[in-house]
Amino acid sequence: MSIESTLLQRCDSKCELCAASQHLDIFAVPPESEASADRSVMICATCRSQVSQPETLDTNHWRCLHDSMWSPYPAVQVMAWRMLNHLSSETWAQDLLDQMYMDDETLEWAKEGLPEEDDDTPPTLDCNGTPLKAGDTVTLIKDLVVKGAGFTAKRGTAVRNISLPSNPEHIEGRINGTRVVLLSCYMKKS
């Protein structure tokens, strides 16, 4: 059976990312250069053009990832993770990234295709000067009033699976189910 027929059967003749049923084509998930059924996805022309030219990204088109990120196929999971990561400045995309789970091997594959980070940005440091990375768990070192949410985050509260915005003095995370931006100087890496 050819790769195309295998993928069409696997995806029920629909785009594996947005479920469109027209203009489907095989897309080898980078860094793969040659298509194989395990390392490829069947995507529509709209998804392909936006993946290939990220500057043309229509963020609302990618809301479809809330379904495709749960695909049992690693290649689809990798593409969903990469697009959500690219859209992580959008609250809904960051929420989906927080929910997404992939095994370690699939996550490594997903990270392989990301462009290298610029090293000229200063690192985000906790109150002790320890560098923080996305996905770390931090603990509050003092009570903080969360403006707009109507509660106070108590000292010792753990904030898991943080994300790092462009400002190195801030972190983003969830406290009491609310997504908040916090100053890293009030955090201690756990």
Domain ranges of the chain: 3-112, 138-189
Q: What is the pLDDT of residue 12?
A: 92
The DSSP secondary-structure symbol of 121 reads S
Residue 57 φ then ψ, to 5°: -60, 125
CA distances from 75 to 123, 170, 181 (A): 31, 33, 32
Q: What is the pLDDT of residue 113?
A: 63
Q: Is the dihedral of CA 103, 106, 109, 115 positive or negative?
A: negative
Whether pTM > 0.85 for this model: the answer is no
Q: What is the pLDDT of residue 142?
A: 93
Q: What is the pLDDT of residue 62?
A: 92
Q: What is the pLDDT of residue 140?
A: 93
**DSSP element (H, E) containing 92:** helix 91-99
- Quick one: fold of 138-189? SH3 type barrels. (2.30.30)
Name the stretches of the chain with pLDDT < 50.
none
Q: What is the pLDDT of residue 190?
A: 86
